[in-house]
Amino acid sequence: MDTLNHFARSFDSRYTNWQKNCRYHGWRMGVLSCSCIVGFVLCCNIALLIAGFYSKAGFNKDGVADLIAGEEDVITRWNTMLHLLINILSTILLAGSNYTMQVLSSPTREEIDNAHKRGDCLEIGLLSFRNLRRISGKRVLLGTVLALSSIPLHLFYNASMFKITTFHDHRVIAIDTTSDNFTQIRDRIDMYTKLNNDQWKQVYGRHDVSQYGDLYLIVDQVTFDGTDHSVGNISSFFPFEFSTLYDVGNIALSAERGWMTYGGGAAPDGTWLLPNGSGIYNQERFTIYGNPLPSSMHMAYGLATNVNPQSRVQISLYFMAAVLAFNFLTLIVMVFVLVSDRADYIVTLGDASASFLEVPDPNTDGKCLLWAGDLQPKRSEPQGITPASHDNARHAIGPATSIWQPQQLKLSTSVGLDKNLANFFSTAGFLIFILVCCTQTGKVSWRWGTASESILKISKNSSLSAKNTLFQAWLANAPQIMLSFCYLSINAVCTCMASAQEWDSFGMHRKGLRVTNPRGEQRSTYFLQLPYRWSIPLIILSGFSHWLLSQTIFLVQVDYLNRDGLLVSDKSKAAVGISFPSLIVLVVVWLAVVFAVGWAGRQPLRFRMPPAQSSSLVISAACHPPATDIDPHLRLVKWGVIEQPVVHGHGHCSFSSSRVKKPEIGQMYV
């Protein structure tokens, strides 16, 4: 945490110096930074598309190109790294889009004053949907375009690249070292890869094999049971092809000498597997070519036939074009906002406080202890403040006096009911969706990520057409939208709690206001209202979670080739796969986040000043300094009881750069 705080302070200092030397200030600096980031992501996406065009075969008629081809294990690693890159880029892109949307939803001082005259309030420091009904239609339209452009990015970005695994039909054949077959193979040894007994058993022990074709087991010794059978010519037993009815991975090999024995696990019920898939034969009743079966064979090593692996990572022209289009649209909107909008938006709590300290709002004069609970008419009397009169509880308009009666509250009280409900339903819905997916699988595979063999039943019988493959890729990435809603709700809750801490600290410490365009002793705001110690882990969480989800639910396409290299349609498939190890990690991560945020919400919020809950009315009510306080918004300020007496003998609380003291319990302030 100390390292993170040091990095945050260093970044904050450099970012502030850059702001001072740049012609763009305030929220424009943030939008400019986001525009540069989105432009960088656009360049990366163009580079990926160009790589597809200049790949070995380019894009085919279905708009798909091979980016990388190789062995299945290598391709799996490349696929993981490429999706990690995609999720880093998408996280950066969506963070920039969210910043601009928050700026567009932020009110101007004129809009706030108009709302206060109507007895209404606006939200400050949040991506607020409440504000949309109270701001200009142009900004609502631009914000809506940014929001809608984010949806295709979730659906198509991860789906634009996918792994194709190629499996090869193969035979497992035993040949002896004295045969002509072995001589022919030895003369073309460069066509084979030599594998020791452990290696070929590991490779061919899988259900399917991707990197090799036929396997030749080189036999240099055999044994017979001389009491039951006469010994025949060894060459009459070879070549010996093992039946495909039995998993070669279970062939019993001596750990020391590599003998494959009759019985002892070589085949069920002590039987041998015989050539050409003809079935399982019992040694006591059958012979090969009139000769008895050997009791055991010694495998010196295996020779695996080299084939073109053909497993690959593919890129979709159509999906990538959609990503580029909406990426470009996002950039256009940001640049348009940057060059055409000159309004002074009040983006943070510090911006609002500075504005009200510079020009106090007469609508909230005399309401210095107003808090967000007073704005909700159906709530019971707040525990923290006991109002002496309520002329209009909802609008908080008109003179009123309040008694200071602080109590210790939880940090979660700063989060509105709407945000708590959004957080609960989005997280619960996502976890329920994951659990439903678990019930829709057949075979359970415990391999990580896209190496898993588990398939969702809804896509099990899908065709292998390019159109269906792209649909399955899109279907696999649809849950990314649900995850984004979870992240946005968690982010909103954390922003509310961080803002409450920052606001409440002004009742204890004197410091400069955090604003988007610092002057005097003001401080530079964070990238948004959220402090770096909150925002950086949340951004990392977003990217990591989206990557985890791409490793949990993903496109599975398998091309099954026969021994002639031709596609076998009935064995090939395109479907939605699921990885249970990845799913477990994803669920554990999100449950840990939910519990961590819940634990943070249980921490005490010391009632040093009336909680604002991002309400413009509450912020305005706390910003009525004495007339003798010159330019308090540019200086170090603190909230408390000002020394100058007011009418009727009651004290008055406000932000002030002058000396203030703590309000006294039970005293009335106006």
> What does the pLDDT look like over 221-249, one tens digit per residue?
666 555 544 444 555 555 555 544 344 54
Reported as type and span, the H/E element at residue 487 is helix 479-505
Residue in the block written with tokens 């002030």: 656
How confident is the model over 617-654, as pLDDT tens digits?
999 988 988 888 888 888 899 998 887 766 566 788 88
pLDDT recorded at residue 526: 57
pLDDT greater than 90 at residue 56: no
pLDDT greater than 60 at residue 380: no
Q: Which residues of 105-118 are buried (b: 16+ CB within 10 A; e: fewer)?
A: bbbbbebbbebbee
pLDDT greater than 60 at residue 520: yes
Residue partners of 413: CB distance under 8 A and separation at least 6? 605, 611
Indicate whether this model's pTM tops 0.85. no
Residue 327: pLDDT band with limits 50, 70, 90: very high
CA 557, distance to chain mean position in Å, is 23
pLDDT greater than 70 at residue 96: yes
Q: Strand order of the sheet with strand 668-669?
A: 385-387, 402-404, 668-669
C-alpha angle 63-69-75 in degrees, rounded to nearest 5:
110
pLDDT recorded at residue 272: 39
pLDDT greater than 70 at residue 388: no
For the chain, the domains span 29-164+312-605, 171-208+225-294
pLDDT greater than 80 at residue 448: no
pLDDT greater than 90 at residue 40: yes
Residue partners of 353: CB distance under 8 A and separation at least 6? 513, 619, 622, 623, 633, 637, 655
Residue 9: pLDDT band with limits 50, 70, 90: low
- Kindly report the average pLDDT of the chain as a whole number: 75
Q: How far is it, in rounded angstroms, from Cα 57 to Cα 436?
A: 40
Q: Which residues of 335-345 are buried (b: 16+ CB within 10 A; e: fewer)?
A: eebbeebeeeb
Residue in the block written with tokens 């007011």: 646
pLDDT recorded at residue 47: 93
pLDDT recorded at residue 529: 58
Residue in the block written with tokens 């010391």: 606
Q: How far is it, in rounded angstroms, from Cα 187 to Cα 167?
A: 27
The burial class, CB within 10 Å (0-12 / 13-18 / 19+), for 122 is buried
Q: Is the CB of residue 422 less than 8 Å from the CB of residue 496?
A: no
471, 488, 492: which is closest to 545 by C-alpha? 488
Instruction: State mean pLDDT over 134-149.
Output: 88
pLDDT recorded at residue 400: 47
How confident is the model over 261-279, as pLDDT tens digits?
544 333 433 333 333 333 3
DSSP line for 105-127: HSPBHHHHHHHHHTT---B-SS-
User: In this structure, which amino acid lies at residue 532?
Assistant: Y
Q: How far is it, in rounded angstroms, from Cα 409 to Cα 389?
A: 23
CA 108, distance to chain mean position in Å, is 33
Return the higher-pLDDT residue of 398 and 195.
195
